[in-house]
Amino acid sequence: MGGCVGRPRGNSRRSRSGAAGHSRKRAGRNEPLKKERPKWKSDYPMTDGQLRSKRDEFWDTAPAFEGRKEIWDALKAAAYAVEANDHELAQAIVDGASITLPHGSLTECFDELGNRYQLPVYCLVPPVNLILERSDEEGADMPEPAPTTRREFQLKVRLSTGKDVKLSASMADTIGQLKKQLHVEEAIEPSWQRWFFSGKLLTDRMKLQESKIQKDFVIQVIVNQPLGQQN
């Protein structure tokens, strides 16, 4: 699933993969992040929801390895930027965290202490056999809040393209409902949208009030448009 290899701290301790000395030797080599998106095929046709769950599981468990949490956080942010085709942002994140890329890829990298980190390819790009879910089915059983309970405000969302969009929202709205509104405003399919606030993925069934967001805050939206449908 990927992990990190730390430096040896004595003869009695070895890293999880036993390659700590090898990682120290290669940590000095650094190449710019490559723009080519690797292609891979899942062992079974995977839905977008299953892919997100698989990624969430990795990012939730990755810091348990012998790496540094701040590096894992930086790699997570860089991976999201790569998926959104924002290589300049991804490179800036990598450089800012002093992460070196021996092969120009996030699949293997090192921090400034020589610790080795490995990201699985499914954290960077979706598989070629990804099944796109129908947005109508995703939110079919999501009830609309009663009109009398709605207290609307302008919610600001920032797309991974750099564009800011204001949506009419209430704390009772679900993320799935707001995704549909963004679809109407910007023609971005709900299944292409991944909403984040304070580094946390917001799921379709979550209500705004559960995310602890306030009306002056900004939600980040990563747009992951399938390669075959990009302009």
Domain positions in the chain are 4-131, 135-229
Distances (CA, A) of 196 to 160, 206, 211, 221: 11, 12, 10, 6
**Long-range CB contacts (within 8 A, 24+) of 94-98:** 94/33, 97/70, 97/71
Topology adopted by domain 135-229: Ubiquitin-like (UB roll) (3.10.20)
Low-confidence ranges of the chain (pLDDT < 70): 1-28, 65, 132-150, 215, 226-231
Q: 157-176 pLDDT, tens per residue?
A: 988 888 899 998 888 899 99
Q: Which CATH number is 4-131 given?
A: 1.20.225.20
Task: Give Cβ neighbours of residue 60 (< 8 Å, ≥ 6 apart).
Answer: none
pLDDT, tens only, 122-137: 988 888 888 865 544 4
